Amino acid sequence: MIGKYKIRTDLAMENGEKYEKDDVELSGVVIRKDYNREKDVHTTYVQIQTEHGAKMMEKPIGTYVTIEAPNLTAPDEEYHREISGELASHLRALLPDKEESAVLVIGLGNREITADALGPQVVEHLQVTRHIITEYGAAALGEERARKISALVPGVTAKTGMETMEIVRGVVRETNPDAVVVIDALAARSIRRLNCTIQLTDTGISPGSGVGNYRNALNQETLHVPVIGIGVPTVVDAGTIIHDAVAELLESLEESEMDEFLQELISPSLQSMYVTTKEIDETVKRLSTTISDGLNQAFLYNG
Amino acid sequence: MIGKYKIRTDLAMENGEKYEKDDVELSGVVIRKDYNREKDVHTTYVQIQTEHGAKMMEKPIGTYVTIEAPNLTAPDEEYHREISGELASHLRALLPDKEESAVLVIGLGNREITADALGPQVVEHLQVTRHIITEYGAAALGEERARKISALVPGVTAKTGMETMEIVRGVVRETNPDAVVVIDALAARSIRRLNCTIQLTDTGISPGSGVGNYRNALNQETLHVPVIGIGVPTVVDAGTIIHDAVAELLESLEESEMDEFLQELISPSLQSMYVTTKEIDETVKRLSTTISDGLNQAFLYNG
Amino acid sequence: MIGKYKIRTDLAMENGEKYEKDDVELSGVVIRKDYNREKDVHTTYVQIQTEHGAKMMEKPIGTYVTIEAPNLTAPDEEYHREISGELASHLRALLPDKEESAVLVIGLGNREITADALGPQVVEHLQVTRHIITEYGAAALGEERARKISALVPGVTAKTGMETMEIVRGVVRETNPDAVVVIDALAARSIRRLNCTIQLTDTGISPGSGVGNYRNALNQETLHVPVIGIGVPTVVDAGTIIHDAVAELLESLEESEMDEFLQELISPSLQSMYVTTKEIDETVKRLSTTISDGLNQAFLYNG
Amino acid sequence: MIGKYKIRTDLAMENGEKYEKDDVELSGVVIRKDYNREKDVHTTYVQIQTEHGAKMMEKPIGTYVTIEAPNLTAPDEEYHREISGELASHLRALLPDKEESAVLVIGLGNREITADALGPQVVEHLQVTRHIITEYGAAALGEERARKISALVPGVTAKTGMETMEIVRGVVRETNPDAVVVIDALAARSIRRLNCTIQLTDTGISPGSGVGNYRNALNQETLHVPVIGIGVPTVVDAGTIIHDAVAELLESLEESEMDEFLQELISPSLQSMYVTTKEIDETVKRLSTTISDGLNQAFLYNG
């Protein structure tokens, strides 16, 4: 990494990349990459296995799967269906391998602010089944076996007065799901990944995260059931963009001057700005359909 | 009551009216009426005191306050503010008389369907304070004492797969409020009361009620804290309207023929239709502001 | 017709029905009916040929095609597609038979009030092509020949300060379409036809019509090009419902008493109320897709 | 200006600034600045008087007033009201000085994409009067004299198939206003000006402008009545941000290297990205109210 500016990214694979570039060996972290040429999909598997690895990667111990599908930003229904399928198969692998399991899906974020509305929009399109199965049995769905799916949009703390954690834990205790799936909008470091990357992880999610706020993380430790986090980066930190662009160019300059440059470059006013595309509203709408389709498929037994 | 057609109303006072008309004495029920000529506001206090009264009134034992304010359907800000004040004072009387109490407000209904969106819209405008007081103390709000207000829009069962009851009970257990206030859209019998009547009750609310569905009622029995229900009728059953219109006219006819007439008149296709005004969208928006202003006032100590 | 209460309907075929019932012969009006058992679709063709017929039918001289498809209220995609096809073939028959014609589609109504939002929502889903063909030719659309489709949502007079007529006439003069298609929400007399009936007519449409307001009608006379009106009834007058229900029952009573009864029955307060279903929001969304799909098909040459 | 990267800004004053910095004299351009300390409002008056000035400034000959009010991004009602007043007084100065004049307000942009929805949202809150005055006279508004205000949201070409110009010209010819006011979202060069700057100009607006597209400009030349453009920058080009940040820092480097650096720095992928704040939705909502309040005031005679 050039300079000391703190790059914020929610994608584990991006934290891996900075070490790659500097050719630093990462003990306690296993990274594997796949490429499907036909679909033009890169899949990265990051496994953080030790506390040392977690510290280096700035992410908790666990598994992170990242699907990069550049064409996701285009309104191509066929392609979206394929990515839904990809997502479904990764998700099924992370879900508890139990007969007739119950899954609670949580849509994090603020439905009024587009770049933050991914979670609520995914839940909007989700096929919930728990109430039907509870009342009439799986047969009512025309299936022999079916997962009991329930869903909740808890809302943001500024509007509920409660920590997301409190709401979710209350509902988990009351309804006893076998697993929780949490959907959230993420921040990426690279513009290339904006709106076309899906990360799945078995480490859950920290709402409005940032460093150190572990008290309110939604994960197995706090909810006592497996928690799968699914997210799509919908914003890129503007400071990040400048950092990257400049860093690349300045590589020929003296190392010593560089740090100073970059420290000055990322002015505070820039750090609260976000870069996004003008099509963000439509993009988020499309993405949320893709994800909820993926969830719907994953939740079928014969999907 | 003329005829045997089952009139559905969520307003206790309307169930009282039918006995009044027939001049039947209602033991176990005390009804008191006030009229404020200046504001043109009728207030009706219904107290159901015995099981016999509850059966006659088809409503649980408890207190029901109904504010009828015909001008509520007009966009008169001054008037809305006055009714917010009325609502606040009735609500304060029903809230637990405890220092620094915590209140959880629940917005029932479906935010996508206007006539059912009252609850979610009220919560939208509510000032929640619990997270601020918890973090920084009441002083952060510029008050010596302040109620801890939190709020939740649980969503409808068809979209969550869970009973509203389960979600609310989970959150109540986790966050321990001293009282719960539930907001919902109601059905009235009389067109005159549409969108201009507010009912408060200490008996809570039965979501998607109808007779007999007591399992999922939100009340003190199920939530173990006081539960105050607040509602506004936004729909009138179309069958009801016809029934009333015809009943009035046919009073001169032979009693014996009438019942038959009316039974035939209320055809099944009519019973699923609802009568509403074309301005329902704007009306619900205005009403929800009035109610949330009332709540906000009630929740202040020096309101 | 029983009684003198003025029934308001925008469907020509409903005005025809009242004469049918009374077995009155309608000179100057030709009515033909088709039934497609497989699709359960009734199609009625009304041709008003003389001024006398126009007076009897309370509608201008011209052709009215009504498609009644009860299943339209269900979210059955396959069925909606079939009705889109029906609509397309009727519309093609009414469009000018000219090579490469240009069509301007007007979406009347208020997008904020669901029951009135049909026009704006149809335009939302319409594939406009005029700007592409003008710039790059039909080849850019992958077609040899293509209609130049343009579309406008003029908004309601209360929000624009202009008559819809003025806006549309200005745009027609400026862009010279060969035909105008106007979409609007209608009022029906029968609850059975709510949200499941589509009327096409070559007589255009009178926005916010009612009797006598001919100055602002959108038709060939005022716009100097053929004007096709397409509408779906989304509201039923509440007075109408009562009238119908009572009229049926009272048929056994003395004719003389009846008129009086009915006059009294339809109280003024009822006349401003509208009957609709609770699902109106979703229903209008679905219907608008069906119609715009139909338009899109009709506008293709090889549809 | 450092480097040759083409900075895009819709604010005339920002084009002025680059010459200021380089201390180049601008013949044919008069720039005057005011500062109101109490309100913390900077007002800049740019008058482009000659063709040479127009070429230097990359803007047509005419007057440009820019109000910079940093606090506009905060939800302070009182302050918004003051800025509405400022806007109103500048607008009144640009409106034709004619008794009972008629003004047509055009809201440009796409109401579905927040950063582009300023125009439609302003029109949403506008008090239109033309239809009332035409029908009943100014007395109906409780005024002796009143402007006839009408308004139109033409929609974007991709949805209408027509050039905005065609629609507006048609409606202008049909309704004969004395002036047209066009509202649009703009792009700024400086992040500081995002969402807190209002530009008024008597040169109209070029929808989806960019260089050279003069055919579709909305101005006096094309509409034959005075056209006033009002805009707020809601986006900043991401390339611009990087350019500015780097340029500042590199000032100590050799001039010759710099150009090359900067050319490379602004990669094509960056140029289609936009920087915005996460609060853009709420910000646009607030801003549109401020502007429409300003218009409403300006249109009163005794405002």
D241 with A113: Cβ contact below 8 A = no
pLDDT at D259: 62
Distance of alpha carbon A229 from alpha carbon A180, whole angstroms: 9
Mean pLDDT of chain C: 83
Handedness of CA D104, D110, D114, D115 (dihedral sign): negative
**Chains B and C touch, contact meaning at least 3 pairs of CB atoms under 8 angstroms apart:** yes
Instruction: Point out the residue among D115, D249, D277 whose CB comes nearest to the CB of A273.
Output: D277
Q: How far apart are the first and last CA of chain D?
A: 43
CA-to-CA separations, A227 to A149, B12, B84, B168, in angstroms, rounded: 14, 45, 43, 22
CB A269 within 8 A of CB A263: no
CA-to-CA separations, A93 to A90, A221, B73, C120, C160, in angstroms, rounded: 5, 20, 55, 45, 56
Mean pLDDT of chain D: 83
Q: Is B77 exposed, middle or buried (0-12, 13-18, 19+ CB in 10 A)?
A: exposed
Instruction: Point out the residue among D114, D265, D267 whose CB comes nearest to the CB of A114.
Output: D114
Label the pairing between strands C41-48 and A148-152: unpaired
Give the DSSP H or E segment for B220. helix B220-223
Distance of alpha carbon C6 from alpha carbon A303, whole angstroms: 57
Beta bridge mates, B136: none
How confident is the model over D129-160, as pLDDT tens digits? 999 999 888 888 877 778 899 999 999 999 99
For residues D269, D274, D275, D281, the Cα torsion angle rounded to the nearest 10 degrees is -150
Q: What residues of A are in contact with residue B129 (Cβ under 8 Å)? A: 161
Distance of alpha carbon C124 from alpha carbon C112, whole angstroms: 14
The residues, any chain, with a CB within 8 Å of residue D196's CB and separated by 6 or more, are D68, D69, D70, D71, D72, D73
Distance of alpha carbon C232 from alpha carbon C67, whole angstroms: 10
D281 with A192: Cβ contact below 8 A = no
pLDDT at D107: 94
CB C38 within 8 A of CB C166: no
Distance of CA D155 to the CA centre of its chain: 18
Query: What are the tokens at A172?
Result: 């988990």
HEC sequence for A98-148? CCCCEEEEEECCCCCCHHHCHHHHHHHCCCCCHHHHHHHCHHHHCCCCCCE
More confident residue, B210 or A220: A220
Which residue, among C80, C170, C179, C93, has the nearest Cα to C125 in the 3D structure?
C80
pLDDT at C1: 30
CA-to-CA separations, A300 to A78, A149, A176, in angstroms, rounded: 20, 10, 20
Label the pairing between strands B148-152 and B102-107: parallel
A150 with B161: Cβ contact below 8 A = yes
CB D232 within 8 A of CB D284: no
pLDDT at C259 over 80: no
pLDDT at C256: 59
Which residue, among B37, B39, B33, has the nearest Cα to B82 in the 3D structure?
B39
The residues, any chain, with a CB within 8 Å of residue D227's CB and separated by 6 or more, are D179, D180, D181, D182, D202, D203, D204, D205, D218, D219, D220
- Complex ipTM: 0.85
CB D184 within 8 A of CB D198: no
pLDDT at B254: 62
For residues D56, D58, D59, D60, the Cα torsion angle rounded to the nearest 10 degrees is 70
Residue ranges of chain C whose CB lies within 8 Å of a chain B CB: 112-116, 191-192, 235, 238, 241-242, 245-246, 249, 261, 264-265, 267, 269-270, 272-282
pTM (predicted TM-score): 0.85
B154-163, B266-275, C50-59, C171-180 — which is least confidently predicted? B266-275
Q: Is B144 exposed, middle or buried (0-12, 13-18, 19+ CB in 10 A)?
A: exposed
CB A147 within 8 A of CB A195: no
Give the DSSP H or E segment for A41. strand A41-48
Q: Is B138 exposed, middle or buried (0-12, 13-18, 19+ CB in 10 A)?
A: middle
pLDDT at C264: 63
Give the DSSP H or E segment for A232. strand A227-237
pLDDT at C211: 37
pLDDT confidence band for C52 (50 / 70 / 90): very high
pLDDT at A265: 61
DSSP state of D230: E
Q: What are phi and psi of D151, to 5 degrees?
A: -150, 150
Q: What is the DSSP string of A254-266?
A: -HHHHHHHHHHHS
**Collapsed DSSP state (helix, strand, coil) of residue C79:** helix
How confident is the model over A51-74, as pLDDT tens digits? 999 999 999 999 999 999 988 877
**Chains D and A touch, contact meaning at least 3 pairs of CB atoms under 8 angstroms apart:** yes
Residues of chain B with confidence (pLDDT) below 50: 1-5, 209-213, 303
- Per-residue pLDDT, averaged over D283-292, amounts to 73
Block residue for tokens 């009851």: B165
Query: What are the tokens at D242?
Result: 């990087």
Look up residue A223 and give its amino acid: L
The residues, any chain, with a CB within 8 Å of residue B217's CB and separated by 6 or more, are B165, B204, B205, B206, B209
Query: What are the tokens at B218?
Result: 């939100």
For the ranges A183-187, B294-298, C19-23, the maximum mean pLDDT occurs at A183-187
The residues, any chain, with a CB within 8 Å of residue A2's CB and separated by 6 or more, are A247, A250, A251, A258, A259, A262
**Collapsed DSSP state (helix, strand, coil) of residue A206:** coil
D174 with C167: Cβ contact below 8 A = yes
Shortest CA gap A134–chain B (Å): 9
Shortest CA gap B102–chain A (Å): 11
pLDDT at D85 over 90: no
Block residue for tokens 């920002």: D14
- Per-residue pLDDT, averaged over A79-105, amounts to 86
B113 with C279: Cβ contact below 8 A = yes
Look up residue D95 and give its amino acid: L
Block residue for tokens 């002036």: D179
**Collapsed DSSP state (helix, strand, coil) of residue B260:** helix
Give the DSSP H or E segment for D164. helix D164-175
More confident residue, B5 or D33: D33
Return the residue of C nearest to D147 by Cα.
C161
DSSP state of B247: H
Instruction: Point out the residue among A124, A149, A158 whose CB comes nearest to the CB of B161.
Output: A149
Distance of alpha carbon D302 from alpha carbon B122, whole angstroms: 37
CB C204 within 8 A of CB C127: no
Distance of alpha carbon C99 from alpha carbon C147, whole angstroms: 8
CB C71 within 8 A of CB C19: no
Helix-helix angle A164-175:B164-175, to 10 degrees: 120
pLDDT at A281: 78
Locate all alpha helices (DSSP H) within chain C, ordered by sequence. 12-22, 51-57, 77-94, 118-124, 130-136, 157-160, 164-175, 220-223, 238-250, 255-265, 268-271, 280-299
Residue ranges of chain B whose CB lies within 8 Å of a chain C CB: 112-116, 191-192, 235, 238, 241-242, 245-246, 249, 261, 264-265, 267, 269-270, 272-279, 281-282
CA angle, B244 then B248 then B250, to 5°: 115
D131 with C158: Cβ contact below 8 A = yes
Give the DSSP H or E segment for A21. helix A12-22
Mean pLDDT of chain A: 83
More confident residue, C191 or C196: C196
How confident is the model over D179-193, as pLDDT tens digits? 999 999 998 888 888
pLDDT confidence band for D209 (50 / 70 / 90): very low
Q: Which residues of C283-296 are buried (b: 16+ CB within 10 A; e: fewer)?
A: bbbbbbbbbbbbbb
> Which of D133, D134, D148, D160 has the highest number of chain C CBs within 10 A, making it the mutation to test binding with C?
D160
The residues, any chain, with a CB within 8 Å of residue C247's CB and separated by 6 or more, are C2, C3, C258, C262
How many CB contacts within 8 angstroms connect chain A with chain B? Answer: 98
Label the pairing between strands A274-276 and C29-36: unpaired
